[in-house]
Amino acid sequence: MATYQLNVNGQSKKVDVDPGTPLLWVLREDLKMTGTKYGCGISACGACTVHVDGIATRSCVVPVSLIGNRKITTIEAIDQDPVGRTVQNAWVEKDVVQCGYCQSGQIMSAVALLKATPKPTEQNIEESMGGNLCRCATYVRIREAIKSASQRL
């Protein structure tokens, strides 16, 4: 076990965990922030996506020992960011969600895309969102919401 001081959503959080513990489990189990979801556990589905220093990151495969002092942003705080707020509003407006399990990861990836590329092409959207799976197949509405958010940025 080791002690880590994490910067999560602008707040300093102290955790005492095994160094190899994935960030996802630290967020969910130790910090009780369950908005970030466990999907595949091997970074193949994107449900666990958070931002680490602004980079969309698959928290299920990144050990907490490798985070250092980088800033973690989760779905719980994404509305504090102007782009994040715009994306969430577009998600609601387009009624994207079906079961909702993958949607926090979808939104975190979409925000990362729009922060880097405010006016994405179809190909940009396809490539950036291609690693986020949705078993309800809400892909069409996800793309509509991204385009809608893009128009407001």
Partner 1 sequence: MLSNSRFVIRSLLIILSFIATWIVLTASAANERRDLKNLNPNTNLGEESARFAAGLAAWEQVYSVLVSPRCINCHTATNYPQQGDDRHRHFANVVRGGHDGQGVPGLHCVSCHQEVNADSTGVPGETNWHLAPLSMRWQDTNDKPLSSAAVCRAVTDRARNENMDGPALLKHHQEAALVLWAWNPGRRPDGTMRTVPPLPHAEFVNATRTWVDAGTPCPKESSRAR
Q: What does the binding site for partner 1 look like in residue numbers (CB under 8 A)?
A: 19-22, 42-46, 49, 55-58, 60-63, 66, 109-110, 112-113, 115-117, 124, 127-132
Instruction: Please name which of 80, 54, 53, 58 lies closest in space to residue 69, comparing C-alpha atoms.
Output: 53
Closer residue to partner 1 (CB): 35 or 63: 63
Minimum Å gap between C-beta 51 and partner 1 is 10
Minimum Å gap between C-beta 90 and partner 1 is 16
Closer residue to partner 1 (CB): 20 or 100: 20
- The three-state DSSP-derived secondary structure of 53-109 is CCEEEECCCCEHHHCCCCEEECHHHHHHCHHHHHHHHHHHHCCCCCCCCCHHHHHHH
Closer residue to partner 1 (CB): 33 or 146: 146
Minimum Å gap between C-beta 126 and partner 1 is 9
Closer residue to partner 1 (CB): 55 or 92: 55
Residues 6+ apart with CB under 8 A from 145: 87, 90, 91, 93, 94, 96, 110
